[in-house]
Amino acid sequence: MNSNFRITRAQEMLIGLVALSLGGVLVLPTLLVIPMSFSSADLLEFPPAHWSVRWWRELSQSVVWVDAIRLSISLAIGTTLIAVPSAFAAAFATVSATKRRANVIHAALVSPLLVPPILIASGLFFIYSRFSLNGTFSGLLIGHVLMALPVAYLILRPAILGFDFEQERAARSLGASRWEATWEIMIPQIAPSVVIAILLAFLTSLDEVIISIFVGSGRATTITKVMFESLRDRIDPIAAVVSTGWTTVVFVVVAVVVLRSGSTEGQVRVASDS
Amino acid sequence: MQNLVPTSRGIHLPFDVGLVAPALTIIVVALVAPIAWVLYLSFFADQGHFSVQSYMTVLGSTLELKAFLTTLRLSASTLALCILLGVPYALAMTLVGRRVATALMFAVTLPFWTALLVRTFTWLIILQRHGLASSAFESLHPSAESISFVNNLAGTLIGMTHIMLPIFILPTYAAMRSVDPALIRAAISLGATRLVAIRGILLPLSMRGILSGATLVFVTSLGFYVTPALLGGGKVNVLSGRIERNITAYDDWGAASALGVLLFLLVGAVLIAARFVLVRSGRPGGPDNE
């Protein structure tokens, strides 16, 4: 929009520079864990005095951390497998619903973003105590699906809304079933949004802290729970190693999301529609 | 075919309840039921007998009342910092060219999706005693005593602002970008300075985005647990922390539930107030046509 404001090149550079320095402050703390993970010291320090892969080795030998990473990844996969199709179906339904119904469905689907997670977590903990679901994979799964649902929905809905439904009608009139028309005509066209929904649903589950702390225990202990307790009690340098791996995954995902043109739209919507 | 009614997009597709069933089931099971159960427990924690004892306990405790104040203060300060930093940032994103704007977007998106714990963790390291922040402070004031930025409200506030800023910037930027550029061009060609164009056109027209970003930041901050727990070092008692303590330390599910209900009401009140302001600000015609 710079041409509209008639901003000169020099002014644009100045504004850009100031904003980029704030952007740097936003990004740098997320990258700081990388050098820290290669420290040889017993306690975390920045910058590290000596470099080593000591803590990477310790991670691979730590049963607690490795088990938690395994559990968190299977949980995130399970969450994605349930949340994305459910969100897709609901988003699809809002297109054919009356405006009133669509509004109700929309409100219901974004509501998990607005309720304080501590309330959901403690409520689930209380209910689970009756059904022995605390400390189980399914218990965690139910909570994580809830948190991933609005994220997938907010990304899929605009994509489905933007789809040209004449094509679906054409396919149907040529004898395709509703399922075929959706799967073979619509999904390929909105594939980028589906991929983003899958990635972000996965990250949402991986990142979930509060439900995991309350509901998870024993064998169903997530990486977030292990890490939270490590940070609260005594900072374990392994946390820096785990954070490095984690941030690398996020970096790749965000790069994919931002590089796909127009996909930042979905990002903006996730934050603004809720 | 089922009900063929005019829809939001004018498409005549059959509406299928089966399509929303999975999502709504999840929401009922994992969201509505826990909230309902917390509400029930807040009144019936005493072996199923109705009592308002939990609320009396909570409202009669200085600790819990202080937690309310701390939560409100922390959320308001976080919001103020987000507006102070976020509005200029979003404005810069709107003003600069595409390439710089993409870089700025990346700088917001990366932290947005970086694990909450990782971000809290790095602030813990930066702000700790003898960490980066206190070394920088000491090099500026060599005579000053070594200070720590963690285990207090300041550290918590820094961490929370860093975590909330993307949530504020994204909707604000979306709103600013959706302002019709022709309006800006018209104003400037009619002799308005750029500052007037920004203050008189761009900001008022993106007020809805700013408001929804602000609401989201405030509401999310009210329920924050992880960052105050880790950066506050037990000295920053927020409502979420009190709920957790009541469950894990005192095994008082009634008090925890009562606090949960009060937090829920607080969030609900803020959302309703924000909606009211949004609806009013979205009145067609605007103040000039009155």
Is residue A266 predicted with pLDDT exceeding 70? Answer: no
Q: Which residues contact A106 (CB under 8 A, 6 or more apart)?
A: A94, A157
Cα angle: A271, vertex A109, A149; to 5 degrees: 75
Q: Test A272 with B171 for CB contact under 8 angstroms.
A: yes
On chain B, the residues whose CB falls within 8 A of the CB of A83 are 26
Of B255, B286, B229, B251, which is closest to residue B70 (Cα–Cα)? B229
CA distance B135 to B202: 41
Arithmetic mean of pLDDT, A154-169: 87
Q: pLDDT: is B63 or A79 the higher one?
A: A79
Q: Indicate the pLDDT class of residue B142, thresholds 50, 70 and 90.
A: low
CA distance A45 to A35: 10
Is residue A270 predicted with pLDDT exceeding 60? Answer: no
The encoded tokens of residue B240 equal: 């979420």
To the nearest whole Å, the CA of A164 is away from the closest chain B CA by 10
Looking at residue B102, what is its pLDDT?
86
| Per-residue model confidence as pLDDT tens digits over B3-34 | 444 444 444 456 678 889 999 999 999 999 99
Is residue A259 predicted with pLDDT exceeding 80? Answer: no
Q: pLDDT: is A63 or A30 the higher one?
A: A63
Q: Indicate the pLDDT class of residue A268, thresholds 50, 70 and 90.
A: very low
Arithmetic mean of pLDDT, A232-251: 86
Q: Name the residue type at position B88.
A: P
CATH number of A63-272: 1.10.3720.10
On chain A, the residues whose CB falls within 8 A of the CB of B235 are none
Is residue B172 predicted with pLDDT exceeding 90? Answer: yes
Q: Indicate the pLDDT class of residue A180, thresholds 50, 70 and 90.
A: confident
Arithmetic mean of pLDDT, A189-215: 92
Q: Test A264 with B20 for CB contact under 8 angstroms.
A: no
Q: Which residues contact A114 (CB under 8 A, 6 or more apart)?
A: A274, B219, B267, B271
Looking at residue B145, what is its pLDDT?
61
Looking at residue A2, what is its pLDDT?
55
CA distance B4 to B9: 13
Q: Test B162 with A29 for CB contact under 8 angstroms.
A: yes
Is residue A3 predicted with pLDDT exceeding 70? Answer: no
Is residue A271 predicted with pLDDT exceeding 50? Answer: no
Looking at residue A263, what is its pLDDT?
41
Arithmetic mean of pLDDT, A187-199: 89
* φ/ψ of residue B49, rounded to 5: -95, 140
| Per-residue model confidence as pLDDT tens digits over A54-97 | 888 888 888 899 999 999 999 999 999 999 999 999 998 888 78
Q: What is the ipTM of this complex?
A: 0.84
Looking at residue A152, what is its pLDDT?
95
Is residue A265 predicted with pLDDT exceeding 60? Answer: no
Q: pLDDT: is A268 or A198 the higher one?
A: A198
Looking at residue B180, what is its pLDDT?
83
Is residue B93 predicted with pLDDT exceeding 80? Answer: yes
Looking at residue B103, what is its pLDDT?
86
To the nearest whole Å, the CA of B256 is away from the closest chain A CA by 8
CA distance A51 to A41: 9
On chain A, the residues whose CB falls within 8 A of the CB of B93 are 19
CA distances from B77 to A38, A166, B64, B165 (A): 36, 50, 20, 12
Q: State the first-to-last Cα distance of chain A, in angstroms, to the nearest integer.
A: 26
The second-level CATH assignment, the architecture, of B62-283 is Orthogonal Bundle (1.10)
Q: Test A46 with B118 for CB contact under 8 angstroms.
A: no
Q: pTM (2 decimals)?
A: 0.86
Mean pLDDT, all residues of chain B: 84
Arithmetic mean of pLDDT, B33-47: 90
Looking at residue B147, what is its pLDDT?
64
Most confident of A231-245, B95-109, B177-191, B207-221: B207-221
Which of B20, B30, B267 shows the shortest C-beta gap to A105? Answer: B20
* φ/ψ of residue A121, rounded to 5: -65, -45
Looking at residue B13, what is its pLDDT?
58
Q: Test B97 with A12 for CB contact under 8 angstroms.
A: yes
Arithmetic mean of pLDDT, A219-235: 89
Arithmetic mean of pLDDT, B103-108: 88
Given its phi and psi angles, is residue A6 left (phi above 0), alpha (psi -120 to 50 degrees) or beta?
left
A170 interfacial to chain B (CB closer than 8 Å): no
**Least confident among A36-45, A132-141, A188-197, B44-53:** A36-45
A217 interfacial to chain B (CB closer than 8 Å): no
Ordered by start, the domain boundaries in chain B are 62-283
CA distances from A206 to A131, A231, A254, A260 (A): 25, 17, 15, 23
Q: What is the 3-state secondary structure (H, E, C) of A101-134?
A: HHHHHHHHHHHHHHCCHHHHHHHHHHHHHHHCCC
Arithmetic mean of pLDDT, B98-122: 87
